[in-house]
Amino acid sequence: MSEFIPQFTQQLINGLSVGAIYALIAIGYTMVYGIVGMINFAHGEIYMIGAYVGLVALTAFAAVGGGPLPLMLAGALILSAVITGIYGYAVEQVAYKPLRGAPRLVPLISALGVSVFLTNYVGLGQGARDVAVPALLYGGWSFNMGGTFAVNFSYSRMLIIFVTVILMIGLTLFIKHSRLGQACRACSQDMAMANLLGIDTNKVISFTFILGAVLAAVGGVLIGQATGKINPFIGFIFGLKAFTAAVLGGIGSIPGAMLGGFLLGLVETFAQGYLLSEYKDVVSFGLLILVLLFWPTGLLGKNTMEKV
Amino acid sequence: MSPKDVLHVSGLRMEFGGLVAVDGISFAVGPEEIFAIIGPNGAGKTTVFNCVSGFYKPTSGHVVFAGEAITGRSSHEVARRGIVRTFQNIRLFKNMTVLENLLVGQHQQVDNNFLSGLLALPRYRRMEREALAKALFWLDRVGLREFANRQAGTLAYGHQRRLEIARCMITDPRLLLLDEPAAGLNPQEKIDLQRMIDRLRRENHIAVLLIEHDMRLVMDVSDRILVMEYGRPIATDTPERIQKDERVIKAYLGED
Amino acid sequence: MQENIKSALIAAVLTAIMMLPIFGMHLEQEGLNLGLSYHWKWIVIACSAVFCAQLARPYVMKAFSGSSLLSLPALNPNQQRVAFGVLLVAALALAAFGSRADISIGQLAMIYIILALGLNIVVGFAGLLNLGYAGFYAIGGYTFALLNRDLGFGFWQSLPFAAGLAALFGLVLGFPVLRLRGDYLAIVTLGFGEIIRILARNLTDLTGGPDGISSIPKPTVFGYEMARRASEEGAQTFHQMMGWAYNTSHMEVYLYLIGIVFAIGAIAISVRLSRMPMGRALEAMREDEIACRSLGINPTGLKLAAFTLGAMFAGIAGSLFAARQGLVNPESFSFVESVFILVAVVVGGMGSLLGVIVGAILIVCLLSMGSDLAEYRMLYFGLILVVMMIWRPQGLLPVGRRHVEVAPGEVSS
């Protein structure tokens, strides 16, 4: 039993760090859903592109001589955020904006098309196989909690949690206090009214997509460091799981997405640790189905009734 | 309020989040009675409709239809028991023909056995013929026979209203809920509507629950009226007495 | 004009920035390190294309807005019947005169036609986006494989079970899930499809794991095997009984003809469905669910029936697929398959029988084309989905349904 606490703590750390990534991606889903009312199927692929761009940036830095590690990482994060943000913007302009007002199935299928396109676009550009990510952050903090098993809190995991928490605090403050943040909130509550009040809803929508992409990009860069490899298909699985997290926390609610992300990370890690690891995806999908069936408003979501 | 009442609503209350849309609404509709609910916009009239017809689940209160409690039952279950309704924004199947709208209305009464339809068995074909005949009958009743093959969405607004009512009636209901049926109609059409409602009550033996803003229509056609304001009842009485009721006059009485 | 050039320039620059890290700078694995190699060709091509497209867009929009260029006229019912007839004749001609390769493609086409018709009932008639449709396809295929491996069932004996089990899964999945709104339903069905695939891959004892189950036999003809020699002692093969000389291509033709028969059956069921009260109710439900409920129609019940029927079609297609391939494995039934079938339905026209049949044929042709194009295949499919939704969401061949009408004489009474 003395093994239990250290193992439990290890799972806790692992779960929170993977949950942080889910949370970053989930925010993108939930913001788009709250303002435009659609599920951005391609969001997972945006995350994947963020991972690749980050890796390319790091490799480019290394090729020109490198530099202090924090600078390189920060540079990669910023570059990836900017370029992936452009992707988010472009996808919205090309594939979703012309379809505003169409029956719900139509933008959904378009988003699916974008998702398939982007996956194979990266597959063609960078190859469909795994790409190994050189580990820039070696080691971590090991500590004993009794028992023979040493708990390892790797630096890359620390970075993930640290960056995520900072971003979330920043986002929350931004939404609450800035004009653009208030505009976002207004649009998510009543788009037509926001328009009448003079808010440029097109700008708000574009901003939402860009912001979601930026956060996903950060997640993508960090996950490369944590798992050591990326491939064009990570967007698919991660996207679905992040969406599960968004629904779990309450779709449309940003704090909900944060909460849902961490929660899902924990549930999945514990399931993987204590149950069979091949079925961890089944656990996540199963959880998604259960949540949508029995708890569609999620933990922090609002119950909206359809006006007859 | 007697046991013979078709509809009996008591203590109806509907809350949305923190907003109370309807509170303490009670009324009864007798057989073949025409009962109107009036009040300013936002008074909660359509909310009452939605609670009665099963589109909203009331926060509290009771709805009893023909002796059976239907509070909180879903809309299609309520409809199957004999309550049908029209909508403020006409909800026809605009891309289907007028005739097809009336056929869909009979969905619950037609043979729905998948296999017998697939193989076009005699029983199935007979029921289809009967459904067609019934649809034509109702088209004649509302005077829309000449539009039978037209797309429902291409009809004039007044005709669409009539079609919506015909579609309701083809389900053989006992209670008809009309949500602002006169909205958008010209004076002649309103007179025709009034006649139709009266005729439906007499010939088809239905009770009618009516939301309306046109006061002349309401006063002429209704047996009793409930006046609502801010979700609460102000008065329930016959048209003559409602018109003289001080509370009603104070709260709301539009142009006469 | 100024505005136009400016926006075209911006678009081109953005394209360049976006493509740079993905296409321009290729990650190369050099031992433990990563390097970059640079390719500018694609970036230049894409930027020029985007620039020209943006420049030309206003003119193109104006030119196309009035005319109905590239829009095929909707066929009336008689024309539809002729079209079906033409397709049938072409299919039979292929059986009689086609080469072995042609007939192989024909078999695949029949399978995809059945799949597309099934998905058409779910997406086109009932308006439900099922992204895990391949899951039912898998259940059909694996049922046949398992019944054959463990109980020795042949194609015809397994068929009712394959269809029935797939339908049952449709019922069980649909029951809780169909109340959900469109987007949620799509994701949940996607999850279901994935769960089926993961289970197939991991339950190795039951399903054979990633390698799947092989040695699946071809269908018999009224109990007679179609083979050079009977596998059982004393039994006659079909050819021996008929007094024909055996030819290996006969089995291919036989399988193809079975496919045609099933496809015709699927068409017939779809046609009857659209004319029945249930078909009318489905169309009404697609238009206005609330009005349906107010008339006593339970949308969930309708959706469930459509969903189950669609699943059954997929189960039958799965059986055919297993017979054709001789083996089933998890990767044959992945999400990518669901996308293929969806593309067939979307391109052809959701709800249009003729449309989805043509769509299925197009997909099979694309899939069978040379392998150098195969790499770009999925890229095109994604692009096709987006383009179709923006340009022509009703599909290439949206065929109007035959409306119930009263004879003109009876209209004025």
Q: Is residue A104 a contact partner of residue A96, using CB atoms and an 8 Å limit?
A: no
Residue C151, domain member (yes or no): yes
Q: Is residue B118 a contact partner of residue C272, using CB atoms and an 8 Å limit?
A: yes
Residue C223, domain member (yes or no): yes
CATH of the domain at A207: 1.10.3470
Residue C411, domain member (yes or no): no
DSSP-derived 3-state class of residue C245: coil
Residue A72, domain member (yes or no): yes
C54/C165 same-domain check: no
Model confidence over C198-221: pLDDT tens digits? 889 888 888 888 888 888 888 887
C135/C26 same-domain check: no
Q: Is residue A254 a contact partner of residue A6, using CB atoms and an 8 Å limit?
A: no
Residue A302: closest C-alpha in chain B: B17
Structure tokens at B183: 């909205």
Mean pLDDT score, A136-144 = 74
Q: Is the dihedral of CA B148, B154, B159, B161 positive or negative?
A: positive
Residue A4, domain member (yes or no): no
- Print pLDDT tens along chain B (256 aa): 566 788 999 999 999 878 899 999 999 999 989 999 998 888 889 999 999 999 999 999 999 998 889 998 999 999 999 999 999 889 999 989 999 999 999 988 876 777 777 787 888 888 889 999 999 999 999 989 988 888 999 999 999 999 999 999 999 999 999 999 999 899 999 999 999 999 999 999 999 999 998 888 999 999 999 999 889 998 899 999 988 888 888 776 554 4
C48/C105 same-domain check: no
Residue C407, domain member (yes or no): no
C95/C146 same-domain check: yes
Confidence category of residue C413, pLDDT binned at 50, 70, 90: very low
The C-alpha R_g of chain A, in whole angstroms, comes to 20
Model confidence over C136-158: pLDDT tens digits? 999 999 999 999 888 888 888 89
Confidence category of residue C411, pLDDT binned at 50, 70, 90: low
Among C281, C406, C408, select the one facing B99 at the smallest CB separation: C406
Q: What is the pLDDT of residue B2?
A: 65
Spatial neighbors of A292 by CB under 8 A, at least 6 apart, are: A247, C177, C180, C184, C187, C188
Residue span of the structural domain in which A116 resides = 19-294
Q: What is the pLDDT of residue C71?
A: 57
Q: Is residue A246 a contact partner of residue A19, using CB atoms and an 8 Å limit?
A: no
Residue A89, domain member (yes or no): yes
Could you give the CA distance from residue C307 to residue A191 in angstroms, rounded to a whole number? 34
Return the half-sphere exposure (C-beta side, CA atoms, 13 A cut-off) of residue A62. 17
Could you give the CA distance from residue A6 to residue A13 in angstroms, rounded to a whole number? 11
Question: If you search the block for the tokens 């500018």, which residue do you land on?
Answer: C40
Q: State the complex-level ipTM.
A: 0.89
* Cβ contact A308–B87 (<8 Å): yes
Conformational region of residue B143, where left means phi above 0, alpha means psi within -120 to 50, and beta covers everything else: left
Among C36, C198, C384, select the one facing A59 at the smallest CB separation: C36
- Give strand pairing partners of C35: C28
C405 shares contact with chain B (CB less than 8 Å): yes
Number of domains chain A contains: 1
Residue A58, domain member (yes or no): yes
Model confidence over C52-93: pLDDT tens digits? 888 777 777 776 655 555 556 666 777 778 888 888 888 888
How far the first Cα of chain A sits from its last, in Å, is 58
* Cβ contact C280–B145 (<8 Å): no
Could you give the CA distance from residue A50 to residue A73 in angstroms, rounded to a whole number? 13
C381 shares contact with chain A (CB less than 8 Å): yes
Could you give the CA distance from residue A149 to residue A159 in angstroms, rounded to a whole number? 23
Among A113, A281, A296, select the one facing C383 at the smallest CB separation: A113
A308 shares contact with chain B (CB less than 8 Å): yes
Could you give the CA distance from residue B20 to residue B109 in angstroms, rounded to a whole number? 38
Q: Identify from C7, C10, C184, C290 which residue to disrupt to test chain A contact, counting A C-beta atoms within 10 A and taking the largest count.
A: C184
In chain B, the domains with their CATH numbers are 1-82+176-256 (3.40.50.300), 89-172 (3.40.50.300)
Residue C112, domain member (yes or no): yes
Could you give the CA distance from residue C67 to residue A171 in angstroms, rounded to a whole number? 48
Q: Is the dihedral of CA A237, A243, A247, A250 positive or negative?
A: positive
Residue A2, domain member (yes or no): no
Residue C410, domain member (yes or no): no
User: What does the angle CA C201 – CA C195 – CA C154 come to, to the nearest 5 degrees?
Assistant: 60
C164/C287 same-domain check: yes
Closest CA to C13 of B131, A89, B58, B121: A89
C38/C128 same-domain check: no
C95/C39 same-domain check: no
> φ and ψ at C26, to 5 degrees?
-95, 130
C233/C338 same-domain check: yes
> φ and ψ at A130, to 5 degrees?
-60, 145
Residue span of the structural domain in which C16 resides = 2-60
- Residue A4, pLDDT above cutoff 80: no
Could you give the CA distance from residue B13 to residue C304 in angstroms, rounded to a whole number? 34
Number of domains chain C contains: 2
pTM: 0.87
Residues of A in contact with B51 (CB under 8 A): none
Residue C409, domain member (yes or no): no
Following DSSP, what letter does each residue of C348-386 receive, concatenated?
H-TT-HHHHHHHHHHHHHHHHS-HHHHHHHHHHHHHHHH
* Cβ contact B110–C288 (<8 Å): no
Among C21, C131, C389, select the one facing A56 at the smallest CB separation: C21
With contact defined as 3+ CB pairs under 8 Å, the chains touching C are A, B
Structure tokens at C399: 């065929």
Helix ranges (H only) for B55-169 are 75-81, 98-105, 114-118, 122-141, 157-169
User: What does the angle CA A79 – CA A80 – CA A85 come to, to the nearest 5 degrees?
Assistant: 105
Residue A132, domain member (yes or no): yes
Residue C408, domain member (yes or no): no
The C-alpha R_g of chain C, in whole angstroms, comes to 25
CATH of the domain at C379: 1.10.3470
Chain A, chain B: beta-carbon pairs less than 8 Å apart: 9
Spatial neighbors of C413 by CB under 8 A, at least 6 apart, are: B140, B145
Structure tokens at C101: 């390769």
